[in-house]
Each structure stands twice: as structure tokens, then as C-alpha cells.
Amino acid sequence: MKRNLKLIALALLFSVASCSFTTKNFDDPDKDKLLLDLITYVLERGHYDARDMDDAFSEAVFDDYLDALDPFRRVLLQKDVDEFAKYRTELDDMIKAKDLTFFNLTYDRYQQRLDEAVEIQKDVLKKPFDFTEDEVINTDYEKLSFAKNKRELKDRWRQQLKLSAIGNFYDYKEAQERQSEADSELEEGEEEPVDELTEEVANMTDQELEEKARNQVAENMSEFFEFTYELERKDYFAQFLNAVVEEFDPHTLYFPPVAKDRFDQQMSGQFQGIGARLQKKNSEVLVTEIISGGPAWRQEELQEGDIIMKVAQEDDVEPTSIVGMRLNDAIKLIKGPKGTEVTLTVRRKLDGSTQDITITRDIVELEEVYAKSAFVEKDDKKFGVINLPKFYFDMRNYKERNAASDLKKEIERLKKQDVEGLVIDLRNNGGGSLKTVVDIAGLFIKEGPVVQVASNGDTPEILVDEDKSILWDGPLVILVNEISASASEILAAAMQDYKRAIIIGSKQTYGKGTVQNVVDLNRWLRKNDYGDMGALKVTTQKFYRVNGGSTQLEGVKSDVVVPDRYSYIDVGEKDQENPLPWDKIRPADYEIWDGYIDFDKTIQSSKERMSKSEQLQLIDQYAKWLKERRDDNTWPLSYQGYKDRVTKSEEFAKRFDAINDFNTGLSYKSLPYEEALFEQDTVLQEKRERWHKSLAKDVYVEEAINVLRDLKINNIRQSNIAAIKD
């Protein structure tokens, strides 16, 4: 794979250099034109299956861009769209010519209509809503046509805002009813403790409740428009660019600089800063969470709920006020390299006092991204469970913390606890680094191919585990669901093809069989007067199982299929726009794992158990009900109608309370190294306790443990391995 990437990089470098992508050689030095030129150039030469930019392409970009620009159909008018439509089949030519007329027109018109929308919603929220009026709203907004005129647009706003308000009104009425029921059950002289909301609304009239509900909507809309007005022209242009690049496939994306930083953070699970999550609220920057283990957490001065008012760097004479500043810009000031200091002027949540807090920045690790493990005892045997949320790695230095090295450590720790079987939980794991997959697969097989990777027109490259050592040679189960994607599918597919593990989960996984590479657009410029241009995540390859099949669209089909809440909801690759097709290639040369003596029998036994599970039958009914609810987009806008719908839904949902009440009776425990950490990190302890409780209620993990118990290892083979190790 490295060979293919180098060829692509060299080809692009030569092409870009020969075309002189420097700002001084452009007739129009506009950054957007340069960005458009760079992206289309990289797409045409680097995408696995570059699509022709023709009239059909233009029409698709036109529709997708307007859907993204006004998804609720409450800003633009039909006459605006009619005016834009003259460019509907011309966008392909305009993109090639770097003609921004269409974008400029839509951006200017959207800003105009946005100002009008602010006034419209303010006017709507001045008047009380009539919750006795019999009307309905369809919340499948993207299927709505655009409003014909401002009167129709105002009525659309009225309905959408009324739906939000009636939800608040319903909650207030429910609080009053709870209080009334509680009061009727009290003995004389007793007082029933009530929550803050109930106490606030207890004696309000319906008229007062309606006003309170409407005011809450007004506050929410104020925050929404505050965020919207923080968006700059470049943010909307990035939206337009993504409407263009996503026509190539669902995973090709343009990353503006801030989005690229966020992507790097997600892939590595770490960043450099103070270790706090921030939110913009009423023009102020609010601390919403102190990240466990980070600099702010260690210092113990900054608290959740504090308002950050000013920021000063080490060499600043005067601090910079961030009140009213864009959140992204404020975050840029607060984040910084490890070892540097930043001083925050904060207004304390507790007493409203102002205080300067100096924090030394450091690497902040997002613990929830990393692998974690636990062990459990059943039938006098111990089994290990490892949850892997993502195949993470440091994009700047792979040797830094990554999923493969962490998984290896967890397995080594579990082996010290004498576990006899291992569960790898890949549910909801959306993927990550391809290299980590190969390294992880190598922990379970002696050596051999793990995945095949093909660039367009090239002979597929086989990525091989060359390490003959096996870290874990015992029973192995992998859990997946419909959200398990990409790298998760590679690992599950390889273990399935080798018959090294039994796969338990959904009918099929997500179905993403493509490889993306992140191209730094700045590297192609000889000179750049515009600052950071961002990056393009572009699909450059497809990967294939060692048996030759593709996971694209079809995913990995579980050995033991079990229903879950996603079973009837369209969430896979096949349900996205513009997915690449399924195909297959020649299988690689590999040998089936010969470590089990009852592999097929164990699968059959599991299927029989699962078919009789009342819990899974209930989950299947629940999944069907979720599908019905998801497809029902019609909501009453009268209080009685809204209440009837919610009440009916809640009554039906009670049938599924047993899902949450279910408990396997198994008790999961942290490993000794983590137990030692709990003495100083109570936040981590609480997170692990919650995880252990969820594992105890997890029917899928319980079945995985049952399968591990049933799997029998070939004793002759184990003896041979032991002899080799000795």
C-alpha cells in the first residue's frame, strides 16, 4: 500500500508543480478559486474512480448544495431557487472555469433571506400559540418544496416553532400532573420534595405555561442564530465544496482547517491544550466539561460552569477578550503546544467572582476513544472483554499511542488474569488506521495476508502479517453491528476467513470497503498568501478480504446473526449517496486456522440459543417499532393530539422496559492496573463502573462469553505451540 501511496503522491506533486499552483500566477488571486482548482485537480488525478463532471454531475451538486444550505426549508423562497436553477446544468463547466458566480449568488441571497428569517421568527414568537387548533406538521423537511412566498414561509416557521413550543408545554403539563398526583398521596402535614422544574410550574395557568414554552423556544432560536451568524463566507464555501466532492463517493470530504484539526484529534484520541470542553452560550464561552487526566483537571482550579472572559499567552502584555468571539477562534487562543502557559480570566460559577487561572498546556488524551478491558468469571472460568471504539493512531507519528499497541497491552494484562477466552467488541466502531488492523490481526494468527488493497488499474497489494509470534492463541469472539465499518470490517473479515474467530452481531456490518487518504492541500503550493487551505480526504483505494470478496456494500455477514435496534433502519453504505460498487478479486494464499476442534458446532449451538432468547425477540420487536416511529413524520400541533401521540408511544414503549431490566447476573471487573488508578481518578472509576453495569445487562456480550466457553482448543496444536515457545 505504501508503494501505491508514494506513486500517487509523486504523480500529484509532479502534476501540481508543472502547473505552477502559486498565488502570483493566478489572474484572480481569490482564495476560493485557488481552493476549487486544487481540489478538482487532486480529485481528477487521485480519486479511485473519478467521476465525469458533466450535466448530471452538475444537477446532483445543485440539489445537494441547496439541501445542505436550507435543510428545514425555512430560509430560501421558491423564486430564489428558480433564479438559481439557470445554473443547474452549468456547475460542471463553472467549476472547471473557477467561476464562482453561482456560489456568490446563493451566498448573498442566503444572507439576505437569513436576516429576513430572523425577523419572521421573532414576529411569530411574539404571539401566543393556539394549542387547541387541529393541525399537523410533516417533519420530513427536505421533501418539502420551498415556500412560494413570504406568507407561506412565515406559516412554515410558525408550524416548526409551534412544534418545539408544544413539546415544552407538554413537559410542563406533565410536571404539574406529577405534582398533583404526589400531593394526593401525601398524608396530612407531609411535604413531597419536588424537582426545580415542577416547583417552578406547579401553580402556573395554561396561559402562563404557553408563554414560558414560547420563551424557551425564543431563547433556543437566539442561540441558533448566534451560532449561524458566527459562520463566515469560507464556512459556506466549504459547504459548497463538499457538495461537489461528495458526488464522487460518500467518504470524500473537504476539511477546512478547523475540521482537519478535529479529524486529527478523533484519529489520535488526543490534542494539546488545557483539557476542557467549551460551548458558546449568549456570546460567552462556557466550560462544559473538565477532561479527566488533563492539565485543568490536574490543577483543580477551572470548574464546569465557569465563563472564560479573557485569554493571555505567556508573552502577552494584555489579555484578549473572547466575549462575542467565534467559538473556534476562542479555542485557537486557548489551545497551544505542550509546555506553554495560558492565563484565563474566568467568572466563577459558584459566586460570580472574577479570577485569573494560569494553566500549563499538555497532551490531553480522550480516554473514551481508547481501548479498555475488563474480565468476568463464569462457570469457574475467566474471560476477557476488550472494547475498541476506534482504530486510532497519531497521524504525525504512528509509533506514538495507537490501537494496536494498546490492544496488545490489554491482552497481555488479561493473560496475567488467566482468562480462557477473549471478546473484541467492535460495535459502533467506525474504523480508522489500516495499519493498526494488520498489526492487530497479527496478534491472533501466526503469519499471513490480512487484507488486499487495490488502486484503480493496479495489481492489488497484499498486506501481510509477517510476525510469526501469536500473542493470543485461545478462543476468540468478535462483536459487530450495522455501525461497525471500514477497519472494523477488515479485522472481522480476516478473522472470519481464517476461521480464527466467531463473529456475532448484525446481519451485516456497515459495508464500507474503501480506503481514504488525507491530502494536505498546502503542500501543493509553492507560495501561499492565504493561510491554511485545509485538506481533502479522498478515496484512493478499495480493500478486499483475503478470500477475494469486497466488503463494499455487503459488509461482513455475522456467523451468528442477532437482532439489534438498527436492524430495520437504513444506516449502511448501501443507503448513502454515490457509493462505489461491489466487486471481487482473486483470493490471497492463506491457511485456515486449525486451532479449534468444534468451530461449526459452536456456531450452531449459539444460533439455537439465540433463537430461543426472549430478550432478543423483544429487541427485534423494539427494532421494528423504532422503524415505524422513524417513518412516521406527522405530528399533531394541538395539545390533545400531541399528548395522545406521546402517551400512546410511551404506553407501547413500556412493553420494552424489560430490555433495560434484563441482567445477565455476571459481574465484570477492572484489571489491577486500573484499580490502582481509581484511587486518584474517581471520574475514571465512575466511567468504568457504568461500563461494567452496561456489560452485565448486555445479552450480546453474555452470548459471546457462552461461545468462548463452548469453543474447544485443539490440545495437540496447543502442545506444539508451547514447544515452539519453549
Domains delineated in the chain: 52-186+194-247 (no CATH), 270-365 (2.30.42.10), 368-725 (3.90.226.10)
pLDDT in tens, 573-592: 999 999 999 999 999 999 99
Question: What single-letter DSSP state applies at residue 291?
Answer: P
**DSSP SS3 for 377:** strand
CA distance 523 to 540: 18
CA dihedral over 244, 245, 251, 253, signed as positive or negative = negative
pLDDT of residue 716: 54
CA distance 523 to 531: 12
Select from 261, 291, 258, 298 the least CA-distant residue to 276.
291
CA distance 366 to 277: 11
pLDDT of residue 319: 86
Percent of the chain topping pLDDT 90: 67
Using an 8 Å Cβ cutoff, are 497 and 448 in contact? Answer: no
C-alpha distance from residue 645 to each of 133, 404, 535, 540, 692 (Å): 16, 48, 46, 48, 36
| Strand ranges inside 630-677, DSSP E | 634-636, 668-669
**DSSP class per residue in 527-593:** B-SS----EEEEEEEEEE-TTSBB-TTT----SEE---TTTTS--SGGGSSSPPPP-B-PPP-----
Contacting residues for 140 by C-beta, under 8 A, at least 6 apart: 633
The helix or strand, by DSSP H or E, that contains position 357, with its residue range, turns out to be: strand 354-360
pLDDT of residue 21: 40
* DSSP alpha helix (H) spans, 186-284: 196-201, 206-230, 233-245, 257-268
Read off the pLDDT of each residue in 559-586 and give the average, rounded to a whole number. 93
Using an 8 Å Cβ cutoff, are 271 and 660 in contact? Answer: no
Cell representation of residue 381: 472460568
Select from 405, 394, 403, 547 the least CA-distant residue to 471.
405
pLDDT of residue 609: 96
Asked if residue 437 has pLDDT above 80, the reply is yes
Select from 522, 517, 523, 544 the least CA-distant residue to 533.
522
pLDDT in tens, 521-536: 998 887 777 788 999 9
Asked if residue 182 has pLDDT above 70, the reply is no
pLDDT in tens, 294-351: 888 888 889 888 989 889 898 777 888 888 788 888 888 999 889 999 999 888 877 7
Read off the pLDDT of each residue in 68-90 and give the average, rounded to a whole number. 97
CA distance 321 to 329: 11
b/e map 340-349, b = 16+ CB within 10 Å: eebebbbebe
Contacting residues for 333 by C-beta, under 8 A, at least 6 apart: 311, 313, 320, 322, 342
Read off the pLDDT of each residue in 89-94 and give the average, rounded to a whole number. 97
Is 0.85 surpassed by the pTM of this model? yes
Select from 420, 475, 498 the least CA-distant residue to 606.
475
**β-strands 476-480, 502-505 pairing:** parallel
Using an 8 Å Cβ cutoff, are 57 and 247 in contact? Answer: yes
pLDDT of residue 484: 96
Which of 20-24, 328-332, 384-388 is predicted with the least confidence, judged by mean pLDDT?
Answer: 20-24
Residue 614 identity (one-letter amino acid): E
Read off the pLDDT of each residue in 663-675 and give the average, rounded to a whole number. 95
pLDDT of residue 138: 94
User: According to the per-residue pLDDT averaged within each range, which of 107-121, 331-345, 530-544 is highest?
Assistant: 107-121
**β-strands 320-321, 362-365 pairing:** unpaired
**In which residue are the cell numbers 435543510 written?**
71
Read off the pLDDT of each residue in 673-702 and give the average, rounded to a whole number. 93
Asked if residue 445 has pLDDT above 90, the reply is yes
The model's confidence at residue 724, banded by pLDDT at 50, 70 and 90, is very low
**Cα 39–Cα 93–Cα 42 angle in degrees, nearest 5:** 15
pLDDT of residue 406: 95
Asked if residue 641 has pLDDT above 80, the reply is yes
Using an 8 Å Cβ cutoff, are 324 and 318 in contact? Answer: no
Asked if residue 116 has pLDDT above 60, the reply is yes
pLDDT of residue 2: 38
CA distance 620 to 630: 15
CA distance 167 to 22: 55
Asked if residue 194 has pLDDT above 70, the reply is no
Read off the pLDDT of each residue in 52-76 and give the average, rounded to a whole number. 96
pLDDT in tens, 390-434: 999 876 777 778 999 999 999 999 999 999 999 999 999 999 999
The model's confidence at residue 19, banded by pLDDT at 50, 70 and 90, is very low
Using an 8 Å Cβ cutoff, are 75 and 114 in contact? Answer: yes
Read off the pLDDT of each residue in 19-24 and give the average, rounded to a whole number. 38
Cell representation of residue 590: 492463506
User: According to the per-residue pLDDT averaged within each range, which of 27-41, 120-134, 616-630 is highest?
Assistant: 120-134
Which of 10-24, 52-66, 265-279, 377-391 is predicted with the least confidence, judged by mean pLDDT?
Answer: 10-24
pLDDT of residue 324: 79
Asked if residue 545 has pLDDT above 90, the reply is yes
CA atoms lying within 13 Å on the CB side of residue 481: 18
pLDDT in tens, 460-508: 999 999 888 999 999 999 999 999 999 999 999 999 999 999 999 999 9
More confident of the two residues 1 and 678: 678
More confident of the two residues 264 and 516: 516
